[in-house]
Structure 1
């Protein structure tokens, strides 16, 4: 029995080590795109893309400005909070805890590689909140977010 447990443990560890790092990155549920345009240009394009789709821009949080208020520094980082009640409401009707993650958010931030856009993939939210039994247009939402990010990146 001891040999069997050792064999199972060894196989399990070997399997984990063989899993590509990219799969671990995907499991975080964070999607991203990098733009070579400055953050103000990406900001403007993001606002336009949201407006074009009829999204409600709830607020934009300027994390770098907030950090400066307490004498700390942070590269330019902004969180856009936006949504469409026609899409978000049915999701929250399915599982009320989804209100923790809705409205949708998209972060734009300066990095050494350019302006990075990041957002949660809807499948991650579905898994996080147990939306498996609900008939929701998650692929459509994912496509819309990808399209918005692509337009905002402008590359």
Structure 2
């Protein structure tokens, strides 16, 4: 009986846990079974919890509708922490093209997907390798934020 309960709990967790994967071109993503609205709300909360400043949210679906076009629910959240981004820009000013960090939330046929640029990709793209930057810490924070949002 005890083993059966543990198996049921484990199976339930596996079904409810968001799937994390890495994609090509430095884009990381996680897919959630939650609604677009839930993921968006949870993303806002996760950013706040991590002390990240939300700079803007772009509602691409509404922008498309304003021009007579259709787009599944899609939004870009622009956020950052000047204590992390500024040293990156001091190292190489071109990284300002990609900062503040962005996370896209969009509805797909596989669920709601959160996507973001891997910090290692930005380091390679902008030649930040020679600088002493906490890229692994940044990557971990981004994954934590995405996982919190995807719950």
TM-score by length of 1: 0.82
5+ residue gaps in structure 1?
A: 1-24
Greater than 6 Å deviation, 4+ residue runs: none
Which of 36, 42, 52 is the matching residue for 1:45? 42
Task: Give the total of aligned pairs.
Answer: 130
**Partner residue of 1:121?**
118
Which of 31, 49, 55 is the matching residue for 1:58? 55
Structure 2 residue 62 is the aligned partner of structure 1 residue 76: no
Matches within 5 A, 1:76-155: 76-154=73-151
RMSD: 0.9
Structure 1 pair 27/116, CA: closer, same or farther in 2 (3 Å)?
closer
TM-score by length of 2: 0.84
5+ residue gaps in structure 2?
A: 1-21
Separation in structure 2 between the aligned mates of residue 32 and residue 51 of structure 1, nearest angstrom: 20
Residue 137 of structure 1: how far off its partner (Å) = 0.1
